A and B are shown apart, each in its own frame.
Chain A
Amino acid sequence: MTPENLIWVAMLLPLVAIALVFIVGEKSPNIRESCTIGISVALFWVTTRLAGFVFSGGRPTFKLGEMLPGFEIAFTVEPLGMLFALVASGLWILTTIYAIGYMRGHHEKNQTRFYACFASAIFAALAAAFAANLFTLFVAYELMTISTYPLVTHHGDEKAKKGGRIYLGILLSTSVAFFMLAIAWTWTVAGTLEFTPGGILAQPNIDGKISDFQLSVLLGLFAFGIGKAAIMPFHRWLPAAMVAPTPVSALLHAVAVVKVGVFSILKVSIYIFGIDLISETRLGEGANPVMMSDWLCYLAGATILIASLVAMTKDNLKARLAYSTVSQLAYITLGAALATSDSVIGGGMHIAMHAVGKITLFFCAGAIYVGAHKTNISDMRGLGRAMPLTMGAFLLATLSIIGLPPGGGAWSKWFLALGTVQTGHFWLLAALMVSSLLNIAYLIPIPIRAFMTPIGETPMKFKEAPMMCVVPLCITAVGSVVLFFFGNEIYDVLLPIASSAR
């Protein structure tokens, strides 16, 4: 198959999965889930084939046609989107296996709808990853919001309704009020929405059409409009989404949905503005002009710290992980806002590193819920004896999230830190350091305490969650360590996105 064909095949596969899931339906759950697993494996195979081509320098393009006069739905695969698609499709396999264990172990209803919506979210993630222009990206972005709403409100109770309201309310309103406006503004100024190496707003024909201050405002519209990146104060939807079943929180609210957000911000920074434009445009007069994205850097820094602090106060494990995600997403936004080649590569790497680490943590949270029916951290003392595999995996993934070797996260944080130094943002360097300490403070105690039996109690008996739950989380935990040894490869693969800007 040519790479061009691989693109549409990759996006068609989740749609086939939706159809199969609905055709088989509740009649035979085993066949239904086998369909999903089969398709997800096929998808991963297709994306790896595509990756081989893209990482060796190819940029396959596939045009679907004009959706509106002058606005095309088109797909071009570049390394950043390829990496994201690889991560999403690879983790989809594991999540599906995990979901079987979780959803059945937990006797959830409406599983057909669940798997169908899941596949459509993967479809939206791929469409966003491969998008060749902002318009396509926006369509995929909105599609993802809508298709994940039934997953968030899966339980259909009052709590789900409230969570869903916040979820849809924030994501839809930011995207309509800011993101859409920003896209239309970009189009009015540049006359194109095509992702262009070097940035379409940095092209010579834009000169004078938009002032430096307006550029900064436009960046703000993008940053706040892409609510999925969960920059404060538009982060509330992410904790609210935790009412969803854990597989949803794991794949969508640690990987697919949130990463579409930060991925979009990186795309905007690299291909719409161009990192040179962001880093060279200075606002203000006199001796100390500031970078046009300075305010976003500091906002991201603040989000990193505040979200970490809030995470410490949460006793519910999923809520703590959610705030941890808010904090980690801001790292990637920071990478985009610092706009050096190392910082954007660090941001891109962090998409993969954080994805594998955080999905493990969510898998663990779900396994603990299914296996031991515990949701609060304070109840998890001594649980390590009962669930050693789960808790061991938790510990490994924690290392990656904190950024300690041998966790993969060490590399991405290293490059982000380099970015702060290169641009002279020493306060942000300090923020990154403090945040790592905070990560240690709110994550490490969980597995440590779990392995220590409280005094005067007998150690718990071995009782792991179903194998379907435990195996995927062990794989991802090992994966988060393996990624550490492939830091160099990922760096090389992502290098073109930064160098093409020159």
Chain B
Amino acid sequence: MIEQLPVLVIVIPLMAAPLFVLIGNRKLVLLLTQLVCWTVFGITVSLLSRMQYGPISYELGGWPSPYGIVYSVDYLSAFVMLFVSGLAAIVITYAPKSIDQEVHHSKHSLFYASYLLCMTGLLGMCITGDLFNVFVFLEISSLSSYALISLGKTRRAPLAALHYLIIGTVGATFFLIGIGLLYQMTGTLNMADIASRLQAVESSRTMLVAFAFMTVGLFIKMAVFPLHTWLPNAYTYAPSVVTCFIAATATKVSVYAFIRLIYVIFTPQFAFERLPLDQALMAFSLVGIFVASTAAIYQTNIKRLLAYSSVAQIGYMLLGISMSNVGGLTAGISHMFNHALIKGGLFMVVGCFALRIGSLKLEDLRGAGKTMPLTSFAWVVGGLGLIGVPMTAGFVSKWLLLTSALSLELWPVAVLMLLSSLLAVVYIWRVVEILYFSPASHLAQTAKEAPMAMLIPTYIVIGSTIVFGCWTVYSAGIAQAAAKSLLGISQAGGIQ
């Protein structure tokens, strides 16, 4: 049983999804979905706890690698799977009241099935060691997320989903073209196998083209500025629960795939020395951080504000990845985790506002600090994390990134990064002032505090941003272990 765990992560939710469509009873399906999500979370915890004995390689159907598909679990993939499934579980626990209000009852079982499929796709992208399989899972998660987004309350939701579908498909196709070219040159789809055969053909132009296609394809999926245009609308018009889950996990998994692409399939030398991708990444990241943060300042809808902030935050992850040393990579990977918690938590807060106030325009949220004190306070705490105040998770990643940039003597990067984090103060505090210092709007005046069923999961996530801001053994510590193994630095005694 234990050795079957890697495949169960995928099989359980993948089989459950169609089954739930058949069951159709929305209460039962909800319960079962929660059960499945928590089970998968439990499995990922046990997978990560096994990492101290070395990475796991699971041959699907007993076919030996490189002929069959291999699932490989190492620190990085186990870590990403852990927070993806963890957030999926906590968000679905939080979800029922919000979904009741925002999604038509007849679509509930379809909703939960899509939710599970989306999670399956994201987990699959993490665990698989086969490049074509990555594409398949990418499409599973994307298609299900298009469906989820289109379930939003307003009629703009299907449009936003369509927009995302068109751009997302372009991204996926680019990724597929890249895979095709790689297959043509190496004759294999197994990532480790490609890596070992790549050296012979590395200098060919085809490799450059393949790499470029895959990079751009993933950039679209990550919503790297300026390829981010699908994201604000998709996040804004999707049902609150969907935004919580997708914002916390989907873009991070694409970042994960990008890390694999650079550090496992290709080499940092190829990406950063033969190609000037590191400078390009830094430039794109910094410009993106400034532009998107500035855009966030001027938003009038709280969800859209957070969406732009997400575009900016991807920049910090890429900055860390582009440094290609242990410190930078640790910072990038930690920020994936920390930002997943922070942004997931903040969108959960927004979901509470959506439930009780019914509008997400900033002007309608005026004075909600008095009628919804707990929800508003959660915003403050999560917001402090996004700003990166000490003792929050956001500070951890910011500090790691800063020290790493300085140790590489990247002065402009360090200074610009710090300055850009001040923009977060502006857009977060703008909302804080609206919540606490403005005369109440008529919607906020009559609003009740959000139900405990939603507040407790919200506070668990928001509280964890504080916990992982003070105690980083299992966040930055694991990220460091993952970074070291990616860079081929041996580590004694597991996590420090």
Partners in one complex: yes
Which of B2-10, B69-77, B396-404 is near enough to bind chain A?
B396-404
Residue from A65, A139, A173, A187 within 8 A of B425 (CB atoms): A173
Q: Which of chain A's residues have a CB closer than 8 A to the CB of B31?
A: none
Q: Which chain A residues numbered 176 to 200 have a C-beta less than 8 Å away from chain B? A: 176-177, 180-181, 184-185, 187-188
Chain A nearest CB from B255 CB (Å) reads 21
Q: Contacts A165-B433, A184-B402: A177 and B419 contacting too (C-beta < 8 A)? A: yes
Give A156 to B438 CA distance when docked, in angstroms.
9
Q: Which of chain A's residues have a CB closer than 8 A to the CB of B472?
A: 66-69
Q: Which of chain B's residues have a CB closer than 8 A to the CB of A177?
A: 415, 418-419, 422
CB pair A156–B437 under 8 Å, yes or no, is yes
CB pair B477–A172 under 8 Å, yes or no, is no
Give A142 to B391 CA distance when docked, in angstroms.
9
- In the complex, B227 has a CB within 8 A of chain A: no
CB pair B419–A188 under 8 Å, yes or no, is no
Q: Which of chain B's residues have a CB closer than 8 A to the CB of A157?
A: 437
Contact with B along A144-185 (1 / 0, CB 8 A): 001000000100111011000100110011001100110011
Residue of B nearest to A187 (CB): B403
Give A146 to B395 CA distance when docked, in angstroms.
14
CB pair A161–B418 under 8 Å, yes or no, is no
CB pair B389–A146 under 8 Å, yes or no, is yes
- In the complex, A62 has a CB within 8 A of chain B: no
Chain B nearest CB from A499 CB (Å) reads 33
Q: Chain B: how many interface residues by the 8 Å CB criterion?
A: 32
Q: Which of B384, B390, B422 has the most chain A CB atoms closer than 10 A to its own CB?
A: B390
- In the complex, A71 has a CB within 8 A of chain B: yes
CB pair B403–A158 under 8 Å, yes or no, is no
Q: Which chain A residues numbered 212 to 255 have a C-beta less than 8 Å away from chain B? A: none
- In the complex, B429 has a CB within 8 A of chain A: yes
Give A173 to B407 CA distance when docked, in angstroms.
23
Residue from B384, B400, B418 within 8 A of A180 (CB atoms): B418
- In the complex, A138 has a CB within 8 A of chain B: yes
CB pair B389–A142 under 8 Å, yes or no, is yes
CB pair B414–A139 under 8 Å, yes or no, is no
CB pair B496–A184 under 8 Å, yes or no, is no
- In the complex, A143 has a CB within 8 A of chain B: yes
CB pair B422–A185 under 8 Å, yes or no, is no
CB pair B390–A138 under 8 Å, yes or no, is yes
Q: Which of chain A's residues have a CB closer than 8 A to the CB of B422?
A: 172-173, 176-177
Give A68 to B472 CA distance when docked, in angstroms.
6
Q: Which of chain B's residues have a CB closer than 8 A to the CB of A68?
A: 396, 399-400, 472, 476
Give A168 to B400 CA distance when docked, in angstroms.
24
Q: Which of chain A's residues have a CB closer than 8 A to the CB of B387?
A: 172
CB pair A69–B477 under 8 Å, yes or no, is yes
Give A24 to B387 CA distance when docked, in angstroms.
32
Q: Which of chain A's residues have a CB closer than 8 A to the CB of B407?
A: 188
> Helix, strand, loop or mixed for chain A's interface?
helix
Q: Which of chain A's residues have a CB closer than 8 A to the CB of B480?
A: 69
Q: Which of chain B's residues have a CB closer than 8 A to the CB of A160?
A: 437
Give A325 to B391 CA distance when docked, in angstroms.
30
Q: Which of chain A's residues have a CB closer than 8 A to the CB of B150?
A: none
Give A7 to B256 CA distance when docked, in angstroms.
44
Q: Which of chain B's residues have a CB closer than 8 A to the CB of A165?
A: 429, 433
Give A299 to B419 CA distance when docked, in angstroms.
24
CB pair A139–B391 under 8 Å, yes or no, is yes
CB pair B470–A67 under 8 Å, yes or no, is yes
CB pair B406–A188 under 8 Å, yes or no, is yes
- In the complex, B215 has a CB within 8 A of chain A: no
Q: Which chain A residues numbered 40 to 83 have a C-beta less than 8 Å away from chain B? A: 65-69, 71
Contact with A along B120-143 (1 / 0, CB 8 A): 000000000000000000000000
Chain A nearest CB from B168 CB (Å) reads 35
- In the complex, B63 has a CB within 8 A of chain A: no
Give A178 to B330 CA distance when docked, in angstroms.
24
Q: Which chain B residues numbered 305 to 344 have a C-beta less than 8 Å away from chain A? A: 330
Give A266 to B118 CA distance when docked, in angstroms.
55
Residue of A nearest to B495 (CB): A69
- In the complex, B144 has a CB within 8 A of chain A: no
Chain A nearest CB from B468 CB (Å) reads 11
CB pair B418–A142 under 8 Å, yes or no, is no
Residue from B388, B389, B390, B403 within 8 A of A184 (CB atoms): B403
CB pair A153–B437 under 8 Å, yes or no, is yes
Give A214 to B290 CA distance when docked, in angstroms.
28
- In the complex, B298 has a CB within 8 A of chain A: no
Chain B nearest CB from A157 CB (Å) reads 8
Q: Which of A68, A69, A177 has the most chain B CB atoms closer than 10 A to its own CB?
A: A68
A interface residues with partner B (beta carbon < 8 Å) = 65-69, 71, 138-139, 142-143, 146, 153, 156-158, 160-161, 165, 168-169, 172-173, 176-177, 180-181, 184-185, 187-188
B interface residues with partner A (beta carbon < 8 Å) = 330, 384, 387-391, 396, 399-400, 402-403, 406-407, 414-415, 418-419, 421-422, 425, 429, 433, 436-437, 470-472, 476-477, 480, 496
